[in-house]
Structure 1
Amino acid sequence: MKKNILLVEDDPALRMVMREVLKDEFEIEEADNGLDGIDKGLKPENDLIILDYHLPKKDGLEVIEAIKKQFPNVPVIVLSGFLSPKSEAQFNDLGATKIFPKPFNYRNLLETVRSLTTRANQVEQAPACAPASMASHPPLSETERQMLTDSLNAVATLAEKIEYLQSVSEKYWIEPADISSMREAIRCMETEVQRFYGKMNNSLFNAGEFSSPLLTNINRPSLSGQN
């Protein structure tokens, strides 16, 4: 049985291309503005949502916030031609699963949708109780949980930029606009690394009281890049 994908994108040409890429493997529903995106996004049959940032009537941040309140576990892929560090952090805080900078590689989008819908299916079929070997580990402290969250968010953000740079580098030729986009992606990567290093500063590492040997023994980040 095909999984259900909701495309919330106001560009009809881009929406058409994504529909053609996905339709053989997924059932596709579409919305061309944020208001319709919320209305259709609140249907329980959605297995994954692909969401543009800049939308008429309601923007992507409003759409994902409304959907995640009712369906916190539905994966949401965000598309954007430009994200400031602030808006990118807002999407991550609201539960965005993946962020694709435009233009993006459609093959990578298809593979990501396959992966996320397969993963969601595996979670649904997983046993309710965790294995004893997992339950035996001590719980993380609040500091450790925050460090882990910040680390995963930073890695996810950098991975998205790397995917974009890879998709551009696969072209037979690079347009002047591609060069500007690549420079912007690199700038955002540098900003994310600096922000992550700022959070993982000496005061955080010296706070102590770590229950996990892994976090106790890791190297401290260095702004010089020499860890």
Structure 2
Amino acid sequence: MENKVKASYSLKNKRVVLLGASAGIGLATAQAAAAEGAQVVIVSGNQQKIDNALTELPANSEGYAINLSSEDNIKNFFSTLGTFDHLVYTAGENLTLNIIAETDIEQALKFFNLRYWGALTAIKYASPLISAGGSISLTSGTAGTRPGSGWALASSICGAIEGLVRAMAVELAPIRVNSVVPGVIQTGLWDSMNDIDRNNFYKTMEDALLLKRIGQAEDVALAFVYLMKQQFGTGQNIMIDGGTVLV
């Protein structure tokens, strides 16, 4: 038993499916998993971005353009995929921050589609295909623990994801279900801000953070790789935040 567990720590020849992986944290995680010997399958809603991402991955990688806001599309994708070892869900649109008085409720409802309902739907159709010793890793964020003014929707989604992680860890055991909880990471997630506001935001965070720098996609990718390789942690939300929640 001991040797079998140790052997499973490797990602060599494992098949890893990453949803929301044509750029940013998802692509960095695909690259990190591939560097460990995994065969990666990347998915996002834009074919051109998938094609571009595949040029940065090994030749045995696969890529598919799928609308992850559609249950039928997710169902059809997994119905033809076959078995695999690990599911990583990093899909999410650019953040839009509004105080509650200026929040459009109809738009707010849609904000959950990709980040929460897409993740839940992916779990529904992917979990029967995951091989023994496999895992599911979702994405939360420090807004769930330490929100600022205007972060009601982002905080709500993070809380929902972390609750989903715990519930799925119980229901789907022995499949391991966890999430990574990034702090502020320098990716396209913040592109809805204009350049001046975004740079000021980064500078404010750099000055405040214990590690005195903004996180990079590669920092978070390492956490996803850990969650795939480790064999005894489930129902956990692993914070990679540069000290965000401590300051």
- TM-score (normalised: structure 1): 0.35
- TM-score (normalised: structure 2): 0.33
- Between Structure 1 and Structure 2, the one with more helix by share is 1
Relative contact order, CA 8 A, sep 6+: which one is greater?
2
Bigger radius of gyration: 1
- Between Structure 1 and Structure 2, the one with more strand by share is 2
